[in-house]
Amino acid sequence: MDSHLEDLFTLLRFPSISTASEHAGDVRACADWLVQKLTGMGLGVELHETPKHPIVIARNDHREGRKTVLIYGHYDVQPVDPVELWDTPPFEPVIKDDRIWARGATDNKGQLMAHLLGVEKTLQEKGELPVNLIFLFEGEEEIGSPNLVPFLQAHKDELKCDVIAVSDTGMVAKGVPTMGYGLRGIACCEVLVTGPKGDLHSGVFGGAVANPATAVARLVASLHDENGKIAVDGFYDDVKPLENWEREMWAQIPGVSDEDVLRITGAPEAFGEPGYSSAERLWARPTAEVNGVGGGYQGEGSKTVLPAKAMAKFSFRLVPDQDPADIQKKVKAHFEKHAPKGVKVEVVVGHDGKPYYSDPHSEDGKAAQRALEKAFGKQPVLIREGGSIPIIKDMQDILGADSLLLGLALPDCQIHAPNENFWVENFEAGIKLNGYLLEELAKG
């Protein structure tokens, strides 16, 4: 285990924050280290430049008649703000209470390394792999993978595969192996509201000039009715209704009840779209979430200004069969329709990605479930996921292969938040899983 942890810690020390331009060099250094590591494993490695962060590809010697398996991961991470809430520095990994603590520990460096080290172990023990393998590691997942789709399109033939394996999703609870067959999509946008040319004294000018912070708040508030139902015209038009077997299975799954969600998040009460359980709200219903709102004076004490501008950042989580482009259009129209008087409202459309759905009972799906059972000693549960990995849908569309979502994240692993962590036992199980997975897929 020691050398495995050493490799993971090295990877975690790169502050590879893809959204922050000042970290571009760190993202690059992280990719370079992966190239070196994969080359050392005896694989054929390529580093592909993109307009932003590089893509790393590695392959064993491919032979006719074997199944081709593509394993996808990403080596970029989310920002670390508010950094003062971290108990230990985000890019100085430590083990404490049987967990690895660092930005990226779970999302996605820990899981990427489980793939990589599982393959390394098989190579070391057996000298070869039972399948044709392609590793595809990108550095732009946290900014919506802007350059991966063009890359896939340009390298469609070299990346041809039968099935894809991805560990970038979650387990419902500790010790409960989990296979995902659906993901929410995403559509992001930002609203900028401007009013006066500079901040104004709220006494001298208040009352005769519209307040951009009030305006942005009215726009945020316009997204939901008071019960949490989304109020954008036509938003639910294409939502695929839940199937009965899903509602029944999910009601039995440990760790995703309303009470579990409250315990894990610390939220004071369950809240969401009326008529659905927490699991159903998270996995099969869309959302309209404000990720950040800001305007005016936010410091100590009071400052009686009428702010010149205010903004809000939004992400909409989408479910099959919602189309992100359609939702972006509807949301933009909504904001324009609800634009308060007296201010200028600008809607900046951001990145998006389609929701994903595949049949969990396919041959490869069953092979993956056998591998999960071997690695964890327990039968896996079948779920969808609340998070978005747009690339899964893109790979389905471009490469024509479904993805097996074999996530190792736990609900309290704090991904995208301070104190991100990864259980050491999940890291170990993940390494084993990647050995069994190639074996089982080769049988199918």
CA distance between the termini of the chain: 30
Distance CA 430, CA 412 (A): 18
CB closer to its own copies, 157 vs 226: 226
Integer-rounded Cα radius of gyration of the chain: 23
CB closer to its own copies, 32 vs 258: 258
CB closer to its own copies, 351 vs 432: 351
Nearest approach, Cβ of residue 127 and its own copies (Å):
40
Nearest approach, Cβ of residue 411 and its own copies (Å):
7
Nearest approach, Cβ of residue 94 and its own copies (Å):
19
- What distances in angstroms separate CA 110 from CA 8, 167, 332, 397, one per listed residue? 7, 9, 37, 27
CB closer to its own copies, 37 vs 285: 285
Q: What angle do CA 235, 241, 247 make, to 5 degrees?
A: 130
Sign of CA dihedral 77, 406, 136, 432: positive
CB closer to its own copies, 73 vs 390: 390
**Phi, psi of 4, deg, nearest 5:** -60, -50
Q: Hey, what amino acid is at 117?
A: L
Distance CA 444, CA 441 (A): 5
Tokens representing residue 9 in the block: 């810690």
Residue pointed to by tokens 């074999």: 406
Nearest approach, Cβ of residue 365 and its own copies (Å):
22
Nearest approach, Cβ of residue 138 and its own copies (Å):
17
CB closer to its own copies, 370 vs 384: 384
Nearest approach, Cβ of residue 74 and its own copies (Å):
15
H-only helix segments in 145-208: 148-154
Bridging pattern class, strands 99-101 and 421-423: antiparallel
Nearest approach, Cβ of residue 221 and its own copies (Å):
4
Nearest approach, Cβ of residue 72 and its own copies (Å):
17
Sign of CA dihedral 266, 270, 272, 276: positive
Bridging pattern class, strands 356-357 and 178-183: antiparallel
Q: What angle do CA 193, 199, 203 make, to 5 degrees?
A: 115
CB closer to its own copies, 3 vs 21: 21
Q: Hey, what amino acid is at 132?
A: N
Distance CA 108, CA 394 (A): 19
CB closer to its own copies, 412 vs 428: 412
